[in-house]
Amino acid sequence: MQLSWIICHLSIVSAIPLYPSSQSFARIWRIVNTNDTEANLDHHDYRENQEQRICETKYCYQIAKKIEESRDATVDPCENFYQYACGSWNKHNPIPDNKVEWSEDEIKANKTNNHAIEKRGIKPIQEILDRTGGWPVAMPFNKWDPDKTPWQRIDKEYMILIGNSAFYNLEYEIDLNNTKRYVLTIDQATEYPLSRKRLFVNMFEMFLYDDDQYTLGIFRMIQAFAREKGYVLNRRHLIIDVVEMLYFELELLEIIENGKESHTVSDNFERMTIEQLQKWYDNSGVNTSTAKIDFLEMIQYSFKMANIDINSSEPIIVYNPIFLHKLATLLGKTSRRVLGDEGYKVRDVIVVV
């Protein structure tokens, strides 16, 4: 059971299609704009004879079958939508005799083959890392090529795989000025509430003061991935990598504005186009390669699996705009290796430890 927590965090993504987040993200866009017959579509009208791709993988069929089996078609959805959508769920998921309740989570846990997962080890996770050049911290310095795997490439792939960038949040939400439409939004990394900041600071202090449990947990995780590739890591280099990675985390937390974890209550935002967003970010004055972000490319990449075209005139709401300038400054002074480590959502793995 040594590596169960790693597998729990990451192996799921190797068992599903590579682009689920992109399809879900774009599907909302398509449905809302298609059904909105009253709104004035000033930008893109996705109803124009544009072929939309439909997921036909076995996973999508499995989910569709599960939804269909749960439905009670004898009920009028306008009268009782819950019964219509879920009325037959218990027929296909009976409560076991030794249980007083039975939930979807329990069904998953009951059907999970932990032995098979343990047998696979970290290989499925390593395959994901290999697709974008490997995890730098688990590789000797001479084995990782920053020119071939810039953090921007890693971040683009993981935005599709996980659903967001490592450094900012890109969402598609109801436009509060017109609730019949959805709009793109970009914000600071809102998954870092103040309580988590304190937790991470405490964990960093544990590392600095040689707390055995936490420190060994980090090193064992990294060494497990190194062994999977047959690498022997230089201990001094490994310590430097981990310290720099954690220090970057602290600096990232410092530029996130407290009290703005939920941007829906924020009055600090600007309506822009993607082109204007790019100009705002570039006006930070940071010109190093590590600070470069092509927002249009990132957004287009997120929507490409749904065959939806996005151009630079697309509107986007930018929350806490100054955060992007602070982010550019931070990225600009950070090494490519550290950003490569961070691009893999390493912070989430560390918190799980």
Domain shared by 227 and 315, yes or no: yes
Is 231 inside a domain boundary?
yes
Q: In which domain, by residue range, is 128 found?
A: 122-351
Is 223 inside a domain boundary?
yes
Q: Which of residues 209 and 4 earns the better pLDDT score? A: 209
Domain shared by 84 and 144, yes or no: no
Is 33 inside a domain boundary?
no
Mean pLDDT of 274-280: 98
pLDDT at 206 over 50: yes
- pLDDT score of 298: 93
Q: Which residues contact 294 (CB under 8 A, 6 or more apart)?
A: 152, 278
Is 312 inside a domain boundary?
yes
Q: Which of residues 135 and 102 earns the better pLDDT score? A: 135
Task: Tell whether pTM > 0.85.
Answer: no
User: Over the stretch 63-88, which tens digit does the pLDDT of each residue have?
Assistant: 888 888 889 989 888 888 888 888 88
- Would you place residue 330 in the very low, low, confident or very high pLDDT band (cuts 50, 70, 90)? very high
Q: Which two tokens stand for residue 19?
A: 């682009």
Domain shared by 71 and 162, yes or no: no
Domain shared by 87 and 166, yes or no: no
Q: What is the DSSP string of 211-241?
A: -HHHHHHHHHHHHHHHHHTT----HHHHHHH
User: Over the stretch 11-29, which tens digit does the pLDDT of each residue have?
Assistant: 333 333 333 344 444 443 4
Report the first-to-last Cα separation within the chain, whole angstroms. Answer: 14
Is 107 inside a domain boundary?
no
Is 25 inside a domain boundary?
no
- Would you place residue 337 in the very low, low, confident or very high pLDDT band (cuts 50, 70, 90)? very high
Residue 305 · residue 23 · CB < 8 Å: yes
* β-strands 315-319, 178-188 pairing: parallel
Mean pLDDT of 177-190: 86
Q: Which of 49, 81, 96 is the last residue of a domain?
A: 96
Could you count the other beta carbons within 10 Å of the beta carbon of residue 208?
11
Domain shared by 157 and 295, yes or no: yes
Is 16 inside a domain boundary?
no
Nearest 5°: the CA angle 22, 26, 32 is 160
Is 234 inside a domain boundary?
yes
- For residue 263, the domain's CATH number is 1.10.1380.10
CB-side neighbour CA atoms (13 Å) of 79:
5
- pLDDT score of 183: 92
- Alpha helix ranges (H) inside 14-165: 20-35, 58-70, 81-86, 89-92, 104-111, 114-120, 123-130, 151-162
pLDDT at 41 over 90: no
User: Over the stretch 224-266, which tens digit does the pLDDT of each residue have?
Assistant: 999 999 999 998 888 888 888 888 888 888 888 765 555 555 6
- pLDDT score of 333: 96
Number of domains composing the chain: 2
Domain shared by 273 and 168, yes or no: yes
Q: Which of residues 206 and 8 earns the better pLDDT score? A: 206
Mean pLDDT of 292-316: 89
Mean pLDDT of 164-173: 86
Of 15-19, 85-89, 141-145, 200-204, minimum mean pLDDT range: 15-19
Domain shared by 69 and 152, yes or no: no
Domain shared by 72 and 139, yes or no: no
Domain shared by 163 and 64, yes or no: no
Q: Residue 179, SS3? A: strand
- Would you place residue 49 in the very low, low, confident or very high pLDDT band (cuts 50, 70, 90)? very low
